[in-house]
Amino acid sequence: MVRKTRVKQTHKGVQGPRLPEGLTEFGKQVPAKAPKLLSRAKLTSLAAKLAKRRVTLAQAPVMELTPRHPYDAAGAMDFLNATIWYSSLGLILLDRREIPGPERMGAVFFTAPADGTYLIVANFYTTGNTTLTLRGPWGDSSANATPLVHTAALALWTATAGPGRKLSFTVTCTGVVTARILGFQVFSMS
């Protein structure tokens, strides 16, 4: 059976199918626009707590991956069993209810441009009790999301010369509802 999709003709050409204003989960309307990312000041504060010292973050991330831009020269991200990859909304949905068993997971790869310490940031939100865990050379670093509030799982990683500048880590989602991945940022820090 072929499913027909209506398109809207405009004076500028053909528009694709209209996206829903929001996603529905457990009868709640979820806004189509994702919450704003944490500010650089907030990330600096969280990194200082994690490092247990005063830190300075670079003005801009050395790598930023989003559902609309999943790779760049410094790295890439990929997800196994993503429920939906909404590039138009800038979300990757990892729904725990749909397939029981192992948690939903992804992987992120990054090559550091120089030796040093880097802050790894996984930006996400949810509508309920969901935990996102980053598993890498630092061990496990997790964050539990508060409904509809932007949350970030953070980790610190030290790059060294040669093969020590290549990082790969997994991202897992556990809990009872959908995690909405907004993307990943890597900041150099001192």
pLDDT of residue 98: 56
pLDDT of residue 189: 95
pLDDT of residue 38: 85
Q: Rg for the chain (alpha carbons), in Å? A: 18
Helix (H) or strand (E) holding 47: helix 40-51
Look at residue 24 and tell me if it is in a domain: yes
Q: How far is CA 57 from CA 87, 98, 182, 186, 190, in A?
A: 28, 38, 20, 10, 7
pLDDT of residue 58: 94
Look at residue 4 and tell me if it is in a domain: no
Look at residue 58 and tell me if it is in a domain: yes
DSSP state of 129: S
pLDDT of residue 149: 75
Distance in angstroms (rounded) separating the CA atoms of residues 142 and 165:
23
**Beta-bridge mates of residue 23:** 30
Distance in angstroms (rounded) separating the CA atoms of residues 84 and 94:
7
CATH of the domain at 174: 2.60.120.260
pLDDT of residue 162: 76
Owning domain of residue 181: 19-189
pLDDT in single tens digits along all 190 residues of the chain: 444 434 333 333 333 333 344 544 444 455 555 567 888 999 999 999 999 999 999 999 999 999 999 999 999 998 877 777 877 778 787 766 555 555 567 889 999 999 999 999 999 888 777 888 899 999 999 888 777 778 889 999 999 877 778 899 988 877 766 778 889 999 999 9
Q: How far is CA 109 from CA 55, 60, 171, 184, in A?
A: 24, 19, 11, 11
Look at residue 2 and tell me if it is in a domain: no
Look at residue 11 and tell me if it is in a domain: no
Residue 189 in tokens: 């820090």
Report residue 70: phi and psi, to 5°: -80, 0
User: Long-range CB contacts (< 8 A, 24+ apart) of 40-45?
Assistant: 43/119, 43/121, 43/152, 43/154, 43/187
Report residue 113: phi and psi, to 5°: -75, -20
Question: In the chain, how many domains are there?
Answer: 1
Look at residue 3 and tell me if it is in a domain: no
